[in-house]
Structure 1
């Protein structure tokens, strides 16, 4: 399927089988994988794009050549327009190596790509040629994003450490990783890297928690090995080419279902789940979208379970209007049954839209006299019911004096934290039921945890008692003031966790702009995967704050968000109208699971309207043990001084 010919593809394609240093084993299929990508780009975007593709293979893919190509072919290329597609592909060795001394990481390791001349002496400087660390690639891509943010990065390499020489075959590596070598991994990074690290962040990243990459395909998780010759061939030849021939558009969420993992190698796809590959457009969905897979026993499986808010009896809708009902549900997945008993075939990868029940989150709404006709008295839906007695209400809605809709949240969950917000009257004057449904959805998502679905009705002490303590007893969550030292953000000295008994009170002098970061430490004995979301009661939105798709934290290690080598941008907590407000608060919910969970982006809820306040932020953490998961809740309040 050839895309719109007005869209050009500017690509840097790198494939390395032959390494010059005897310390780095050779590979067999990286150069041919680079050819597969080259051919696919031409077939997809048209042969006229041949001049827009720079391909570096084997001896041509030196460290200096790769960094130079980023600058000349992408960053300084005036032909690249905002609507074009930028593709960066690397196939070769990947390594986890020691970071610079001033670089904060959870386990004192960073991921890096190995150029073809890694380990030999640079003829110009006489120094050992180093690998290319992830922060160098990240900073270079940031510069590309100044002109184009439709960037797809494909890494078919290993991002894990550890030796594999016991499984070499005739001096060729089966996995795209190499051993740690003092000669290669303890030498300092060259000055050119420090110059790149010091480049300023693009303006669009200053005030956002979005990580740079629009779309990332990776052959495996950070701690896994990538088998030589598997990922690229499977992705292009088995998945994308057949779908293109059928004229079927593909999104990242499709790839999560269709690309098969190997034992010890789980491919990673990160980016907007409904974005069409290589394009600036997305499939519009109003509900939560998942892809189905037909199992060998004939049952239909969807990777959506209790951690996604899906339970037995919930309904999924097919594109043709048919519905599938959840028969069984576990934490991570569900089996579905056609409600009409149809035998019509449902192909793998078919999109289904989840419509989870809102019964557990139903709100009781008291409306002021002016709004009583907005919904009939004592009317009831799945998400709300109207009540005549203010004392019975969990939500009270009235019209304000300044053409606003005033919302009072009367649940115990919100009392004393964030009980009032308001919206422009024009947004909801004819849609009070829509506002109530949005409140119910927000309440359902915020309250979701493993023991009781009605967390919103519990006090803080009751919530802590409801969750089995062991689910988070081995996890620490810290909030730090951070500052930039040299090239990287680190906790401000003296280092102090701002959470005290799950509450952080942040005092901001007028005109100040403090920056913050989160540290999640796994003190347990099993690897955990974390998913971080910001729940904003001001506009009932839930935003994705994950710096990576699956924040994997092995036992005894930590992950940082907002600082460190892979934590994205710092957080800022600003009052929208400090002259009219005494404080702000909000919720941060962090799920944890014992295995990666696809589809967690379904937790995101868009804002229901333009809020008259910018809100605050709270924090909530989930920790999984085997087949369990739970939540920890903290509160952040910002007060101007």
Structure 2
């Protein structure tokens, strides 16, 4: 039996649901929709249905539902503040689940910029009164994605980042230019023409009292930390309606299929990425998932239990001998023969699988020793029990007299990332004690360039979890030094910029800093701390290959790894094509004045922190095997960044 209920730790759900069929500007600007209001009503029904009926059991008073004429720009903005930001029933910094659902028209429009150059286009959602006039004669504009993104970031900061945004609309614009044959597929949810150009001052009162004037937010950003985005299509595609044969009712085909999946999947074991992977695709409509928390459990954006790093098993192959796919490969250190223990959703041991075929980001697993495994239920995950990889494992030396040797090197070290070294000469890591402090000293790696030793005061908790702490240190250093010695990727470079510009889309590299705006010199950046500064990056690809770049920040003082950029999901277009470039933190992307969250090789908590209990539970998304296309090659490049704080 399927269950769509969330985990028992779930707190209350609050939702703002919007559905617009009939736009006040009329058919000259917007095609009258027939299914958007149906979608909003169906979504409210899903929210309020009991969990035994595969809904979420949300109290009706926790939902605001705006239909047609109610969904004005002013009303949407007001309800967002009152129902989310100022709602005393939603605890500050809590675990409440917040959902924003929009079904209606989307569009694109340009924004006036204060610097020279082309005016950038941005995505917008269209309130019911867009392209009409206010009582004072001023035009009613659409809601730009960076405005909505700023509100979501403010909400995440105040109430917590467990926020889901669902958009059944599209933003391609110019729908009146579609071929007739294409129009017959289903009515598109995009305005006939682009929206009116938005002045920079629009909604500027939102950030007039804070630093957000130098930082803006894109709803579609794959590195957004405030929310997870579930969208009906990619930014350059078309979201459509369809007529149901059973009762001739009209619905958005994305929302229709999404609700089927939400009601049928085990949400307590399903991530946002996995949810989107279960969705169908249509001609010029590919459902999309964005945000750094997209590997979290659906509607449980705060749920990522620490402990053994686990990876979800994909469905077994249907041809030949049984095999399974996992999204972990040679980049993470898997080799042919790496052993995985299979654990059920209830955390019970099932069997052992071994890696038979290893690619950069995926591996194919088969039963160990040709044994036929027992039944493996949906939602099962695997944890590495034996890496079988010399580079993946570090050798740790301790002196002859070391009171915690038994805790550090128990008889069963299955899955550990380190072994005991016989001597200092063959060790990667030296451990010693001075009073109640553990002295950590690496040999021959980049960490040593920053600081020769790390000291950790040992309390009872640290002693108990000492193997997990050392695992965390080894994990950090392994990926800091990780390169591909077999198939490198020359021609890819990273530039870092200090940015100028005071609002959203105006941020560009400041040529007064660095070499024509580029702060990187021979792989090194040296900065003087300036709290007013924000930074961005450009990744250039001079090679003939398309590249899917990740930008990580390694903090050698805390041993944390922060993801500053990751590509969109596997269904989206390549973000860095051959002979192209990619900007990160420029324009309306989120600039870097603080760390972001991470996934993949993430290590958000410091192993030196008393609360450290190991890396997050892996909830990587599944991909249907017939859609898997592994990367051809991978490599890494480093830029050493040092920041000096001047004496006060």
TM-score (norm 1): 0.76
How far apart in 2 are the matches of 1:547 and 1:568? 15
What residue number does 1:456 align with? none
What residue number does 2:13 align with? 9
- Backbone CA RMSD of aligned residues: 4.2
How far apart in 1 are the matches of 2:269 and 2:599? 22
**Cα distance change of structure 1 residues 540 and 235 upon mapping to structure 2, 3 Å threshold:** same
> Does 1:334 pair with 2:351?
no
Q: Deviation string for 1:42-82 (max 9, x for gaps)?
A: 01577772233222233432323322322333333333334
What residue number does 2:354 align with? 325
Deviation, structure 1 residue 506:
2.0
**Cα distance change of structure 1 residues 625 and 87 upon mapping to structure 2, 3 Å threshold:** closer
What residue number does 1:633 align with? 638
What residue number does 1:542 align with? 561
Unaligned runs of 5+ in 1: 453-466, 573-587, 590-598, 612-623
Deviation, structure 1 residue 224:
3.9
Q: Deviation string for 1:266-289 (max 9, x for gaps)?
A: 421531634452575445552132
Deviation, structure 1 residue 387:
4.1
What residue number does 1:610 align with? 609
**Cα distance change of structure 1 residues 638 and 36 upon mapping to structure 2, 3 Å threshold:** same
How far apart in 1 are the matches of 2:87 and 2:117? 33
What residue number does 2:264 align with? 242
Unaligned runs of 5+ in 2: 217-221, 242-251, 611-628
Deviation, structure 1 residue 211:
4.2
Question: Which residue of the other structure, out of 523, 545, 567, is the alignment partner of 2:590?
Answer: 567
Question: Which residue of the other structure, out of 484, 490, 497, is the alignment partner of 1:480?
Answer: 497
User: What is the SS of the residue equivalent to 2:478?
Assistant: helix
1:451-490 matches, cutoff 5 A: 451=485, 468=488, 471-473=489-491, 475-482=492-499, 485-486=502-503, 490=508
CA contact (8 A) 1:154 1:216 kept: yes
Q: May I ask how many residue pairs the two structures share in their alignment?
A: 572
Q: Deviation string for 1:96-140 (max 9, x for gaps)?
A: 43233149999933222122333x331424344332111111222
What residue number does 1:31 align with? 37
How far apart in 2 are the matches of 1:114 and 1:323? 52
CA contact (8 A) 1:368 1:399 kept: no
**Cα distance change of structure 1 residues 354 and 25 upon mapping to structure 2, 3 Å threshold:** farther
CA contact (8 A) 2:268 2:298 kept: no
Per mean C-alpha deviation after superposition, the further-off stretch among 84-93 and 537-546 is 537-546
Question: Which residue of the other structure, out of 130, 133, 139, is the alignment partner of 2:144?
Answer: 133
Q: Deviation string for 1:485-507 (max 9, x for gaps)?
A: 25675544514211101111223
> Does 1:405 pair with 2:422?
no
Deviation, structure 1 residue 9:
2.9
Question: Which residue of the other structure, out of 205, 208, 211, is the alignment partner of 1:195?
Answer: 205
1:80-159 matches, cutoff 5 A: 80-81=90-91, 82-102=94-114, 108-118=120-130, 120-145=131-156, 147-149=158-160, 150-159=162-171
> Does 1:287 pair with 2:306?
no
CA contact (8 A) 1:547 1:566 kept: no
Question: Which residue of the other structure, out of 55, 61, 64, is the alignment partner of 2:71?
Answer: 61
What residue number does 2:390 align with? 359
What residue number does 2:418 align with? 384
CA contact (8 A) 2:535 2:591 kept: no
Deviation, structure 1 residue 92:
2.3
> Does 1:443 pair with 2:477?
yes
- Which has the bigger relative contact order, CA under 8 A and spacing at least 6? 2
Question: Which residue of the other structure, out of 303, 311, 315, is the alignment partner of 2:335?
Answer: 311
How far apart in 1 are the matches of 2:187 and 2:103? 13
Question: Which residue of the other structure, out of 271, 275, 292, is the alignment partner of 1:255?
Answer: 275
Deviation, structure 1 residue 373:
7.2
Deviation, structure 1 residue 241:
0.7
How far apart in 2 are the matches of 1:335 and 1:549? 24
**Cα distance change of structure 1 residues 273 and 355 upon mapping to structure 2, 3 Å threshold:** farther
